[in-house]
Structure 1
Amino acid sequence: MDEGIRFNLEALSEIIDTTKAVKEPEIPFPQADSFERVINLCELLKQKEFTTKEEITQNYDFDGRQTDYYSNAGKYLGLIEIGRDPLTRQTGCFLTTKGKQVFNLSLIDRQKEFVKQIVSHKAFKETLKLYLDNGEMSEKGIIVEIMKRSKLHNVNTDTTYFRRASTIIGWINWIINQTEE
């Protein structure tokens, strides 16, 4: 990553301290381990306004489930909406007003805004704080305990919690990779 678009730990701490928690949305907790792909999907939607699920599936060489996972991850963060094209009636995705605002920011401010969107969710914020306190990623079992306290929607079994913990790990690692030493 280009050194010019990284921010320091002080800026990260300020984001964590000043970002207010949101109520967990009543949509499935994301199962999308690569935050870069969430960003990339948003970039595609910025260029095309509306993209069908089929186009997303083909563009990323996904299967249909993966398309749903990544579009739902963008929806979870308030960046993507899923709907139908009024003319073709095909199901697809487009950026929300918030998503458009984020993608009109400078690259560094966009990265910071992504961090704000992520840490506005309790499970991500608490896991990131633990990472910063301990200097390493917590074990999945600890992350699962944080998730259970966070009132996540539609995560009901330990197996699902452990699978979704991979999303938290992936997104926290993305945040850490945006931060300079």
Structure 2
Amino acid sequence: MSSGARQTKKDKAWEHIFDSNATIEERIASDGFYDITSDEIKQIIEPRIACKIDHRQDNPVPLVSRGLSILAIKNGLYRIAATDVFVDLPAFPHSKVGYVKEFEIPSHVQVLGSDSLSSESKALDAALVSGMLDYVFEDSVVLVLRGREYSSNLNFRLSSNHPRMDHLDYQLESVQIEVDGGYEGQRGIYLVEAKNKTHDVDNLTIRQLLYPQLNYSKKFGRTKPVHTFVLLHNPVTSLFHFAKFNVPIRERFDATHVFDTSEYITCKLRQEQDVHRDYWSELLTCRIDDSVVDADRPFPQADSFDRIFALFNQLAQVKRSLKDQLFDAHGLDPRQHDYYGNALRWLKLADFDSHSQMFELTRKGQAIANIDNPKDIYFEIARIALSNSLFNKILHGKENQISEHDRTMNRLYSESTFYRRLQTVKSWIRYFEDSLKN
């Protein structure tokens, strides 16, 4: 790692782990892997922090730079190896495309209103009681599994990037696995890994998908087939995207062909407010008011509004957060921390104390966070952005009317910076339209 690169706490800890134990790289060079204990890791950093790697972007730089991954293989034991342990997810659209079957929560169920599905478990419960899961699985199912347990002894093989071996065998023994939702019907058992898509989710670790699939197939596969699905739920659009995880029936697990595009299913949970409120038409009436945003903050250069919304939601839950803790949870490169932090500050949703390195919601941010319906929250944040002169003119197709005064007001002095920021503006507007247009 270059000396000028910005490192997270986790990056620094892993660099220290490698520097303090030369045996790790020596063993990987000779055997293709090194099994490291929790006690070894704990000398530098808490294992639960060091080894919480749910997505490719969470993989610490010292592992990435060496072409390595880490997987739990036993309670208190992890394998570092030259393997790829991540599975790329299908690219689902943000809005309705093609045929989308709609479902409703039964009228007598009040706890699971479509405006209160803030967690993966609630989204799954809504999918169950509405009949959505029966439709997706083509089976009448009931909930039978949820939460954590320890696995059976399991075996699988991954392709290896080691120069002298093309594969590596893994033997698991009593590893903790977690299932967001497990369902059983007459025809099979169905496991679901659910993600609330308020931020970019484009990959998962095989620990989240392959481990449960292998575990329950070993337990019940002789009497019923076990199927695993990924659910991406967007609480703003009420769209539920399902993709079936296909484990190849061969000796080596290959992560490149585990999702069949012909099996993608998109469903919608009908929202009461969809009938009488046209969010997008309301946004088109926004008037320019540059005082609504904080012009003293840098103009937004964070292209993923999905991630901005996720950071806002996280801050709303914890109230205050250290900068590193807030951003590390989203797999952001350290250089992107300021991009996304400044976007929240520009929207006047959050304040940042440079002395304590703490982010917290502003009074306006807290008021918006207290709104019950996620779509209304999204609308209010979009309205703030679209009140800005540049956003507003791009929204109405008036890019040629952006004046020198508009550019100066938004601190976009150079031509190149101005055109780069316009790409961010257009990205946000596309996302607002996809999410809020009926």
TM-score by length of 2: 0.35
Once the two structures are superposed, the pairs formed by residues 29-108 of structure 1 within 5 Å of their partners are 29-84=299-354, 89-105=355-371, 106-108=373-375
Q: Counterpart in 2 of 1:22?
A: 290
Change (3 A) 1:6 1:42: farther
- Tell me by how many angstroms 1:26 deviates: 1.8
Change (3 A) 1:20 1:154: closer
TM-score by length of 1: 0.78
CA distance in 1: counterparts of 2:362 and 2:311, whole angstroms: 13
CA distance in 2: counterparts of 1:92 and 1:147, whole angstroms: 36
Is the 2:280–2:437 contact (alpha carbons within 8 Å) kept by the matching residues of 1? no
Once the two structures are superposed, the pairs formed by residues 114-133 of structure 1 within 5 Å of their partners are 114-130=381-397
Change (3 A) 1:166 1:94: same
| Structure with greater helix percent | 1
CA distance in 1: counterparts of 2:288 and 2:429, whole angstroms: 18
Between structure 1 and structure 2, the one with the greater Rg is 2
Deviations 1:94-151 (A, max 9, x none): 1111111111112222122012111110111111112xxxxxxx9xxx47x6375523
1:164 aligns with 2:410: no
CA distance in 1: counterparts of 2:296 and 2:358, whole angstroms: 20
| Identity within the alignment, % | 25
- Tell me by how many angstroms 1:9 deviates: 9.2
Higher relative contact order (CA 8 A, sep 6+): 1
Could you tell me which amino acid in structure 2 is paired with residue 117 of structure 1? Answer: I
CA distance in 2: counterparts of 1:38 and 1:108, whole angstroms: 15
CA distance in 2: counterparts of 1:57 and 1:162, whole angstroms: 27
- Tell me by how many angstroms 1:22 deviates: 2.2
Is the 2:299–2:410 contact (alpha carbons within 8 Å) kept by the matching residues of 1? yes
Is the 1:27–1:76 contact (alpha carbons within 8 Å) kept by the matching residues of 2? yes
Segments of 5+ residues of structure 2 without an aligned counterpart are 1-236, 239-267
- Tell me by how many angstroms 1:166 deviates: 1.8
**DSSP 3-state at the match of 2:300:** coil
Segments of 5+ residues of structure 1 without an aligned counterpart are 131-137
Change (3 A) 1:125 1:57: same
Change (3 A) 1:32 1:147: farther
Q: Counterpart in 2 of 1:12?
A: 280
1:180 aligns with 2:419: no
Is the 1:19–1:120 contact (alpha carbons within 8 Å) kept by the matching residues of 2? yes
| Structure with greater strand percent | 2
**DSSP 3-state at the match of 1:94:** strand
Could you tell me which amino acid in structure 2 is paired with residue 51 of structure 1? Answer: S
- Alignment coverage as a number of residue pairs: 166
Is the 2:323–2:357 contact (alpha carbons within 8 Å) kept by the matching residues of 1? yes
Could you tell me which amino acid in structure 1 is paired with residue 326 of structure 2? Answer: I
Q: Counterpart in 1 of 2:380?
A: 113
